[in-house]
Amino acid sequence: MFKNYEKFLSDFDEVLLLLKNQQKKYIHCKKGCSICCEKGNYPFSQTEFAYLTEGFINLPNEKKIIVQKNIKELLKEKENSNNEIFEHKCPFLIDKECCVYKYRGIICRTFGICYYDDFSKYVRLPQCVYDGLNYSEYFDKENNVLKIKNVPKINLRIDRVLNSELAQKYNIKCEEIRPMLDWLLK
């Protein structure tokens, strides 16, 4: 069912690896760093969410129980929240590691990388820049200015990625995109 999607992800991961290698002096991501996964709303397309669900199904039972508990708590928190955008820790994050790493979404794959968003007309920086991590040595917080010129011109927004030539090559369609918890409510 996911053969084309997995081929697409393999090629997309190669593109991301090239970008990360080009920007490696600015990136401090490493195993155990989970700041990106601690607070967000994690937009997923329907295909991405179905693939993530496949990853969940393949988990050992003890991890499934933890994820189910996390989801239940988050849904309760969301119900009691008055915020228009509900940001939360990813329910698949266990002991600072993604338990469905192979199945993670595009948003997760692009965490930590800086890029130019041609739709919004600005440079998107990872949130961890404000925590003194990625790109922080080259970022002027006071003036909100990145002091590097070689920002990739590739747009890594989920809708742009799913409408890219690469997605078309594998017949991947950009369907509805929702926050992860909204898919879980469905």
**43 in helix, strand or coil?**
strand
Q: What is the pLDDT of residues 15-54, one digit of tens each?
A: 999 999 999 999 988 888 898 999 999 999 999 999 999 9
| Beta-carbon-side half-sphere exposure of residue 38 (alpha carbons within 13 Å) | 10
178 pLDDT band, cuts 50/70/90, is very high
User: What does pTM read for this prediction?
Assistant: 0.92
Q: Locate 81 and state its tokens.
A: 């929240």
Q: Locate 16 and state its tokens.
A: 């991301």
b/e code 148-167 from CB counts within 10 Å (16+ = b): eeeebebbbbbebbbebebb
